[in-house]
Amino acid sequence: MKEARTSSINRKGQRRRMRLFFFVILCFFVWTSYTLFLQSGELSKKETELEALKQESAILQQKQEDLTYEASRLNDQEYLAELVRKRILFTKQGESIYIIPD
């Protein structure tokens, strides 16, 4: 009779340990799922931010190329004279400037 009681107590203890083990495993899976969910949201935000920065970088690269080209053109005397004539209405001797309204 004592052996039957001991066996019954061992089974109850074993069941209790198994339930505790599965509860711990369940908690672990819930925690990892929650963490994965949060990280996927952050990753999505970072990818969007990366795309925006790539576009901004491309725009700035194009602007830099345009400014480099403009700077190289400033070394040309003919272009420089044309630019001065347009911007500050500089005239050569004997020329007249007529401003036509748009």
Instruction: Give the integer Cα–Cα distance in Å for 37 and 30.
Output: 11
What is the structure's pLDDT at 6?
65
Q: What is the mean pLDDT of residues 74-84?
A: 86
pLDDT in tens, 11-63: 888 889 999 999 999 999 999 999 999 999 999 999 999 999 999 999 999 99
Q: What is the mean pLDDT of residues 69-84?
A: 87
Question: Which phi-psi region, left, alpha or beta, contains residue 94 (left: φ > 0; alpha: ψ -120 to 50)?
Answer: left
91 falls within a domain: no
34 falls within a domain: yes
Domain with 76 in it: 12-86
Helix spans in 1-102 (H)? 2-73, 77-87
93 falls within a domain: no
98 falls within a domain: no
Higher pLDDT among residues 39 and 81, named by residue: 39
What is the structure's pLDDT at 58?
97
